[in-house]
């Protein structure tokens, strides 16, 4: 793990327990967060700007990582700090941002290694959970983006 990956994970874990607030505004952060304000805040700490919304983070940020493997082989493609995008149960969907492909982005989490991810989710707030638990709640990973 490089220094930026360590910083991201350390900072993300320091926010475990932060309450969830859908559509958190800048003045709410870091006292309250939603999934995309959480990832935006974390990456800002290492001077990596991310768009505010989950949808725009998926469409505009980082390098897309191939997702051709079966979900059981997903962790072979992941590096610590990768952003994992899910359909989610709330959000704003505009699949036209993805060249007409239906990728259905509505939730984002940060991969922390060892088959775990950290994210802000309702009603739990910021939590670190197994990737299996996150996909059980949010559905399969729709996209992976590497920021660092």
Cis-peptide, bond into residue 5, ω within 30° of zero: no
pLDDT at position 101 is: 62
Question: Closest by alpha carbon to 134, among 95, 107, 96?
Answer: 107
Query: What does the pLDDT read at residue 139?
Result: 84
- Full-model pTM: 0.89
Residue 56 has φ and ψ, to the nearest 5°, of -70, -30
Print the domain residue range for 71.
3-146
3-state secondary structure of 79: coil
In the chain, the number of structural domains is 1
DSSP at 20: B
Beta strands in 3-132 (DSSP E): 63-65, 83-86, 107-113, 116-121, 125-130
SS3 61: coil
CA distance 141 to 27: 30
* Amino acid 87: pLDDT: 74
| CATH code, domain with 126 | 3.90.1720.10
pLDDT at 71: 55
From CA 4, how far away is CA 45, in angstroms rounded?
Answer: 10
**In tens digits, what is the pLDDT along the chain, a chain of 148 residues?**
999 999 999 999 999 999 999 999 989 999 999 999 999 999 999 999 999 999 889 989 999 998 764 555 677 789 999 999 987 555 555 556 666 666 568 899 999 999 999 999 999 999 999 999 999 998 888 889 999 9
Three-point CA angle 63, 113, 104, nearest 5°: 45
pLDDT of residue 61: 95
* pLDDT at 102 (0 to 100): 61
Helices marked H in the chain: 3-14, 35-44, 54-60, 131-138
């Amino acid at each position: 793990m490089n220094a930026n990956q360590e910083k991201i994970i350390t900072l993300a874990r320091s926010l475990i327990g932060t309450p969830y607030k859908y559509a958190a505004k800048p003045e709410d952060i870091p006292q309250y967060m939603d999934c995309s304000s959480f990832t935006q805040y974390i990456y800002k700490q290492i001077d990596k700007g991310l768009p505010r919304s989950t949808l725009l983070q998926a469409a505009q940020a980082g390098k897309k990582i191939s997702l051709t493997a079966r979900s059981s082989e997903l962790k072979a493609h992941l590096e610590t700090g990768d952003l994992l995008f899910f359909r989610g149960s709330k959000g704003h969907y505009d699949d036209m941002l993805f060249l007409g492909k239906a990728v259905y982005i509505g939730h984002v989490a940060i991969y922390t290694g060892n088959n775990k991810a950290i994210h802000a989710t309702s009603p739990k707030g910021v939590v670190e959970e197994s990737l299996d638990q996150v996909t059980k709640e949010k559905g399969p990973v729709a996209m992976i983006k590497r920021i660092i």
